[in-house]
A and B are shown apart, each in its own frame.
Chain A
Amino acid sequence: MALTDIRLDQELSTEFIDVPVRFHPVSPCCSVNPSLFPLQMLRSFVDLASRAIRLDLSKSRVYENDFAGVHMHRDGSITVHNARYKSRIRASHQVRHT
């Protein structure tokens, strides 16, 4: 269904969406002209955008664990020292046990 197929007074809802939705524009240039959207459509976009922002904010950034030390490197990689187990972290091409 194209945007032009939606009547101005048509009720739209995002209630049926139960998984997070992300906008993925194909171009870095973004533009929104409210006069081109039916009001209900714009409100649905606003609802989705605000849910996406709140979802990102709700993520916890601090976790309890057994790590005795953490060393961060300039390239964004990280070395962790586990106080209890030497092999608690699964080895992979990204992870090396020392």
Chain B
Amino acid sequence: MLSKTTTLDQHEIPGEPRSAVVRYYSLGALTELEADFRAAIHSGPPCAVGVSIELAPVGTRIQTLALATRDKVFCLLLPQSPSPAQCKTLRELFSNILYLAGFEFSHIIVLLSHTFGSNVTGYDLSTLALSKHRETATPGGFLNTKNPSVNARRINERWDGDTVRRGETSSGIPEPDYALRAWFTAMYVTLLYRYSIPIHFPH
């Protein structure tokens, strides 16, 4: 069953969609998610999919899986580990993704692969713009190296959970919006083409 629908807005990344619809699905509505997601990625030219995950408070279980195109975000809520049948559906869902990308992607794919028991392949954007000290790039820093007009700090604030803007109500501990992370990631891949960053996708 579809839990809820919300909207995300952004003004930080120029030339990209200003908003995206976020749909949340329970594990019981996995087939509905797969159908909606398949329709979204097949409705136009091949598109990149951004991925982000939230871990459960304890252990290594994935609690939220967010997959996004440039204007749609699909969030799967996983209160418990998926059943073998649900894992099969998730494997099929991932097999439909042509270009999967994420930040700190090496962490994400290990957890995805372990959870779904499948081969997962994609691109780590955080290693595409290594600093001179070989540090991985922050999302804001990455985009600012390609487009100096982009406010790197503001993007990083939103990526971390906007603790600064929440001011008095913030504990200083970030509470990231994983839907926003997946959405920003999907938009970044489009920007990779725009700024002619060499990236070779599999055929």
A interface residue numbers (CB < 8 A to B) = 22-25, 27-35, 42-43, 45-50, 52-54, 56-63, 72, 74-76, 78
CA distance A69 to B176 in the complex (A): 26
A31 CA / B117 CA spacing, docked (Å): 13
Chain A contact residues: helix, strand, loop or mixed = mixed
Note all chain B residues with C-beta closer than 8 A to A62: 163-164, 170-172
**Residues of B within 8 Å of A, CB-based: how many?**
51
For A76, give the chain B residue with the smallest CB separation.
Answer: B152
Q: Which residues of B contact A29 (CB under 8 A)?
A: 121-124, 200, 202
List 4 extra interface pairs beyond A42-B110, A61-B157, A76-B151, CB under 8 A: A24-B127, A46-B110, A52-B107, A76-B140
B121 x A72 contact (CB < 8 A): no
**Given A46-B110, A52-B107; A59-B118 close (CB under 8 Å):** no
A33-B113, A34-B117, A76-B141 given; A49·B106 CB < 8 A = yes
Residues of chain B contacted by A75 (CB below 8 angstroms):
144, 148, 152
Taking a contact as CB atoms under 8 Å apart, the answer to whether B110 and A59 are in contact is no
**Within the complex, what minimum Cβ distance (angstroms) separates B23 from chain A?**
24
B150 within 8 A of A: yes
